[in-house]
Structures are given as C-alpha cells and as structure tokens.
Structure 1
Amino acid sequence: MKKLVFLLGLPFLFLSCNDDDGAPNLPPQMELNDQFNGDKKGWTAGFSDYPVKMESDWKLEEGIGNLPAPLDTQKKGFRISGNNHSDDLFMYFKKKMTGLKPNQEYNAAFTLEFASDAPSEGWAGAGGAPNAVSVGIGAVGTEPKTTVDNLDHYRMNIDKIQQKNDGKDMKVIGDIGNGTDKVGYKLLTKTGEFKGKTDASGNLWLIFGTDSGFEATTTLYYTSVKVKLTEATTK
C-alpha cells in the first residue's frame, strides 16, 4: 500500500516543478560588480555630440590604463578622455544585461567609482568650470548608439542627459568635481537609481557617462561600477 501511495504522488510532484505557461523561473533581481582592474568587463565606451571625422581634433581616447598620481599608479581603471570644443561632449559606457524577464520594468541602482582631477570650486573655464561636467545613469531596452544627424554631427539614439538636465532615458546623479579647490586626482563615488524596461527578449542596456559644459579636456578613470537590478513592483 505504501508503494502505491508513493507512485500516485509522482505526477503531482512533476506538475509542481513547472509553471503553468512553461516559462523559466527567472530571478526577481540581478547584480553586477565590475572592477576595471585589467579588462573592460564587457563594457563598451563611446562618444557623441561632436562633428563627424573630428575624433583626432577632439582627442577622443578610451581604454584600460594605470591610475594617475597621486593615486596608486599600480592600479588600473577604464580611462576615457576628450577635448570638448563646442560646450557639449558626451562620453559614455554601455553594457547589455540578459536573462531578465521580458517587457518588465526594473529599478537599476548604480554605484560608480571614478577618479577626477576637476576642482569643485574656485576655477573658471571656457563654457564653464572644469567641474561643469555632469554624471548620468540610465537603463533602456534599446541599445544606445552613436548616430549621425543631418548636420553631420554624432548624436545618441536615446534621450540622454544634456549637461545638468535629465533625459527620458538617463538622469543626472552629480558632477565630476573632486571636492577641493585644487587640480588633482581624487577617487569619487556617485550613486543613483533609474527605472528601465527590458525588451521582448528580456534584455536591458545599462549606460552611464558624462555630458560636458567645459570647453577643454576632461580625463576620467572609472575603477568600478556596481548595479543592482530589482523588479519594479506595480501598484
């Protein structure tokens, strides 16, 4: 009799292991903790808001490199640099997240650590002070790309930040001021949250970067980015 009861229970055991629609049981949250101590960890750097074929004049550079003094020069970061000629230059990083629920809103909590030498006060510059460079974050279901407009300028295909102003697809979480009145690299931490929606395949693109109001060279070293994705609850 005990064997018969056990066998009869098997179909219910199998049924309980499957959702009604056969969909995979995806986790309600996902986290990444990328340290740029030797490679790019799947992040892609890019630039926009500058004229076509002017990369050399604008001195656009990106790649893994050693941190500058007085920081620990044995450590590395994801370096990005550009010489802004027109009171506007967007320098960004993007990464594709997969395995999320399709067409689902997620809260993306960012923690960025980077080195900046821009003083927070007491300095002026063309277009704006050296710290007149806003830091922004975003999360979108469409891949952020640099495109060419009808004036032969590179523009983003998403509604990014515009200096101190938020966009539909990104928001400002601070600036690159180093917290002093002197030029010199300091490690800074910026945090913020943004809500984005995955595409029909459960993909979400993370993006962070800077938009410049300082008409000169800005060089930053990103040492880490942490993002916690949590399903947005509906009320």
Structure 2
Amino acid sequence: MSLLTGTMLTFTSCSEENVTTTGALPYQSSFQRDADGWVAGLTDYGTAQESIMEFKSAWKGLPAPLDTTRKSIMIESMNRSDDAFMFIKKKVTGLTPNTDYSLIFDIELASKYPSNSIGIGGSPGGSVFLKVGASSVEPVKVLKDDFYTINIDKGSQNNDGKDAIRIGDIGTGDSDEVYKLITRSNQATPFNTRTNAQGELWLIVGTDSGFEGLTTLYYSKITVTPKTTM
C-alpha cells in the first residue's frame, strides 16, 4: 500500500507498519483526532500503469464549500485501467472467534460527481461503485501476471463478491460538480462474514470504478454495527 502526503496533513497514522486496531463492535469513527488506523490502497491495474495511477491518500479537512474544519480520509487516483479499486481497510479485534457476524455499514463521504454525468468509460458518479465488506484475512494487493489485484473476493465493478458488496455509487444526484456529503448504507442487505480464530475481522470500504478519470473522495464517517450474531 502507498500512503502519500496530503496538502494539509500527512496520513502518518495509517502506514502499513503502524496499523492500529479497534476492540469489538459496534464501531464508529468521524476521524476528528486522526485517521483511526485506516490504511489506503489501490488495486486492479497493470504494472505498466503504476507510474500514472496518481494514487494519493491523506487525513485532512473536508473540501470547500463543506466545513473544512471537519477531518476526513481523502483518497484519490486516476483510473487508467478502467477497473481501479481504491479502498481503505481497518483491523477490528476483540470479537468472538470463529463466529458469524451480520454487519450494517453506514458510510458518509464527500463527493462532487453528478449521478448522470458523462465521462470516459462511464459516469464519474454513476459508474463508480461504492463497496463495503469484511474478511478474516487482511486485504492486500497481490501481483499476478503483471497485474495488481487483491487477495479477497470483492466482485467486479457493480457486481458483489464474497468479501464485499455494492451499496450504491458516488453520484451526488445534483447536476453541478460541487462537493456535498452523501450517505450510503446496506441496512436492507446486511453483510455476512466470519471472524478468524483470533476473533479478528478486516473491514474494507472502497470504490470499484468504471470511469476512466480522476476520482477524489473524502470519507467523513464510518459506522459498522452488528445486526445479529448468527
């Protein structure tokens, strides 16, 4: 994973070597003190494209015209591969080992991309799909046949996978390209997962993009609540 300096603050609390954890669930963070242990990553592109993906992440204030004193996790990249998956992940501990959990994710993020906008390969808003999920193993970027992919099943673009499901897109619903806060949830379709023998889960939130351009998002609040213990 690559974590670069933002224009305001460096995402230092989220280096691969310093991943912090959270005990048990429910979990919520609005990132006001720090990045709360979330680590950013990018997959689904070829090695030949690595230098032109323009991947960046930072803990910083929301963009104008929003309240810039509110902190968030900014993440951005160019989608040179027409399939880039841009994500953040976090380890949760203190759960019951080898146990099924049914999770509700509530995500608040700042986006500026109109839902029905037109772009190369797809809509900057409607063709960038927001996904959430969890895995008993750490999601990591892996190299296979000169292509960077991920070691969990997140599905492809608007399709669900075993370890992540789509909960909407990043379209704002407006016609103007201006940042606004949007919310997405899987309240109607809880995500089912299972902890490992140590009572751990890796949470993941990301975007699977069909838009071949630059996407810059700001995650401002993440809440994960167990609906039931199965």
Gaps of 5+ in 2: 1-23
Name whichever of 29-38 and 128-137 sits farther off: 29-38
Give how far 1:55 is off: 4.0
Indicate whether 1:196 and 2:186 are aligned.
no
Bigger CA radius of gyration = 1
Which amino acid is 2:143 matched to? Answer: V
The answer to whether the 8 A contact 1:105-1:231 is kept is: no
2:210 is matched with 213
- Structure 1 counterpart SS, 2:208: strand
**Could you tell me how far 1:54 is from its partner in structure 2?**
4.0
**Aligned-pair distance for 1:162?**
1.4
Instruction: State the Cα distance separating 1:53 from its structure 2 match.
Output: 6.5
Residue 109 of structure 1: aligned partner: 104
CA distance in 2, matches of 1:52, 1:86: 10
| Identity across matched positions, percent | 45
CA distance, structure 1, for counterparts of residue 159 and residue 39 of structure 2: 24
Give the match for residue 5 of structure 2. Answer: none
Aligned: 1:134 with 2:132:
no
1:64 is aligned to 59
Counterpart of 2:121 in 1: which secondary structure?
coil
TM-score (norm 2): 0.84
- 2:229 is equivalent to residue 232 of structure 1: yes
The CA RMSD measured in Å over matched residues stands at 1.4
Determine if the alignment matches structure 1 residue 166 to structure 2 residue 160: yes
Please list every run of at least 4 consecutive aligned residues from structure 1 whose deviation after the TM superposition is greater than 3 angstroms.
Answer: 53-56
Name which of structure 1's ranges 188-197 and 47-56 shifts more when overlaid on structure 2.
Answer: 47-56
Task: Give distance in 2, aligned partners of 1:183 and 1:199.
Answer: 43
Asked if 1 retains the 8 angstrom alpha-carbon contact of 2:46 and 2:81, the reply is no
Task: Report the number of matched residues.
Answer: 203
Taking structure 1 as the reference length, what is the TM-score of the superposition?
A: 0.82
Quick check: 1:104–1:231 contact (8 Å CA) kept in 2?
no
Q: How many angstroms does 1:95 deviate by?
A: 1.0
